[in-house]
């Protein structure tokens, strides 16, 4: 997924009130859309910092990704 696509999604959902998001994006997990804007903002900020044009969706914790990236950077500098 390209970061630009996520930014378009963010621009689309940020103006929509949380209660309306729940109706538009019907997911099995109640209240999922209440934090999606903040989660995607974190992801796009990190991608910008790491100069990554792509994001690979996974179930991994964001901290795992940051630690893995920093470890790889450290190893490549040795």
Split into its structural domains, the chain has a count of 1
pLDDT value of position 66: 80
Q: Helix H segments across 1-78?
A: 3-13, 18-24, 36-49, 62-77
Average pLDDT, the chain: 79
Asked if residue 19 has pLDDT above 70, the reply is yes
Confidence of residue 5 (pLDDT cuts 50, 70, 90): confident
CA distance 50 to 32: 27
Structural domain including 29 reads 3-77
What length does the chain have?
A: 78
Distance CA 75, CA 71 (A): 6
Global pTM reads 0.48
Q: 37 in helix, strand or coil?
A: helix
């Amino acid at each position: 997924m390209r970061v630009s696509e996520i930014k378009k999604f963010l621009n689309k959902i940020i103006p929509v009130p949380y209660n309306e998001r729940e109706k538009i994006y019907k997911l099995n997990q109640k209240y999922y859309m209440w934090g999606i804007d903040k989660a995607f903002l974190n992801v796009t900020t990190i991608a910008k910092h790491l100069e990554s044009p792509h994001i690979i969706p996974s179930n991994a914790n964001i901290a795992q990704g940051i630690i893995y990236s920093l470890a790889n950077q450290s190893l490549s500098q040795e």
